[in-house]
Amino acid sequence: MKTNAGSLKKGEFIRYQGDIWQIQKADFYSPGKGSALMKARIKNIITAKNIEYAFKSNEDVDVLDVECLEMQYLYKDNELLYFMNPRTYNQYTLLIGVVGEAAKFMKEGNSYFVYVHDEKPLTMRPALSVKLKIIETEDAVKGDTVSGAKKSAKVETGVMVMVPIFCKIGDTITVNPETGDYGERVKG
């Protein structure tokens, strides 16, 4: 669907130079002279490359009709993540490189939102935080009370996360899947 670049919004998907890109940021800019511009940061969903581009506000842009479907994460292999739509039982795959660092924190069986265009998955909307159980870490040393002290802990997905020294095996913590940063310790 063609639309004016002046009406682009964050989160929309566009076709640009033959590839599919997602708008990360869009700011309308009107210099005193000349035509108005839509300054946008766009991300290629295949290569994950970000670029800044200034569209003329009256320029036609091909905006794609993309659905955001909740899907169950099944498993992964060396290069693909496998999802299933629980309503239709159709299975979809995404390249791990497209999802990025968030793939390391995904738990089998959990639901995630996947962007789909023409029955083809494009990318996944990463969760703001995920709850994971600590399966391996050192015990805190008595008297080690340095403010903000951290230690490494292995969570159930196999990833190492830096956690405060009071965290122990069996604790459930929240982690930001995009950065890998510890959030908080949660009950059960």
Q: Name the 3-class secondary structure at 154.
A: strand
Q: 110 φ, ψ to 5°?
A: -75, 160
Tell me, yes or no, whether 29 and 75 share the same domain. Answer: no
Q: Which amino acid is at 130?
A: V
Tell me, yes or no, whether 162 and 136 share the same domain. Answer: yes
What pLDDT score was predicted for residue 144?
58
**How many helices (H) and strands (E) are present in the chain, helices listed first?**
1, 16
Q: 101 φ, ψ to 5°?
A: -60, -25
Tens digits of residue pLDDT in 32-77: 787 888 899 998 887 778 899 898 888 889 999 989 999 999 999 9
How far apart CA 166 and CA 22 sit, in angstroms, is 40
Which of 17, 41, 63 marks a domain boundary?
A: 63
Domain count, the chain: 3
Tell me, yes or no, whether 100 and 116 share the same domain. Answer: yes
Contact (CB, 8 A) for 96 and 79: yes
Tell me, yes or no, whether 13 and 58 share the same domain. Answer: yes
Tell me, yes or no, whether 116 and 140 share the same domain. Answer: no
Return mean pLDDT, the chain: 88
Residue 44 in tokens: 């290629």
Tell me, yes or no, whether 116 and 157 share the same domain. Answer: no
Tell me, yes or no, whether 41 and 75 share the same domain. Answer: no
Say if pTM beats, i.e. exceeds, 0.95.
Answer: no
Tell me, yes or no, whether 59 and 72 share the same domain. Answer: no
Tell me, yes or no, whether 16 and 56 share the same domain. Answer: yes
Tens digits of residue pLDDT in 9-36: 888 999 988 889 999 998 988 887 878 8
Distance of alpha carbon 147 from the chain centroid = 31
Tell me, yes or no, whether 33 and 86 share the same domain. Answer: no
CATH number, domain at 19?
2.30.30.30
Which of 63, 79, 106 marks a domain boundary?
A: 63
In this structure, the chain runs to a length of: 188
Question: Closest Cα to residue 70, out of 104, 111, 34, 29?
Answer: 111
Q: Name the 3-class secondary structure at 113.
A: strand
Instruction: Say which residues have a Cβ less than 8 Å from residue 100's Cβ, sequence separation at least 6.
Output: 48, 126, 178
* Residue 78: domain span: 67-125
Radius of gyration of the chain, Cα coordinates, nearest whole angstrom? 21
What pLDDT score was predicted for residue 94?
92
Which of 45, 63, 81 marks a domain boundary?
A: 63
CATH number, domain at 72?
2.40.50.140
Tell me, yes or no, whether 17 and 39 share the same domain. Answer: yes
Tens digits of residue pLDDT in 155-167: 999 999 999 998 9
Q: How far is CA 32 from CA 36, 54, 184, in A?
A: 9, 16, 48
Question: Closest Cα to residue 27, out of 57, 4, 65, 63?
Answer: 57
Tell me, yes or no, whether 81 and 112 share the same domain. Answer: yes
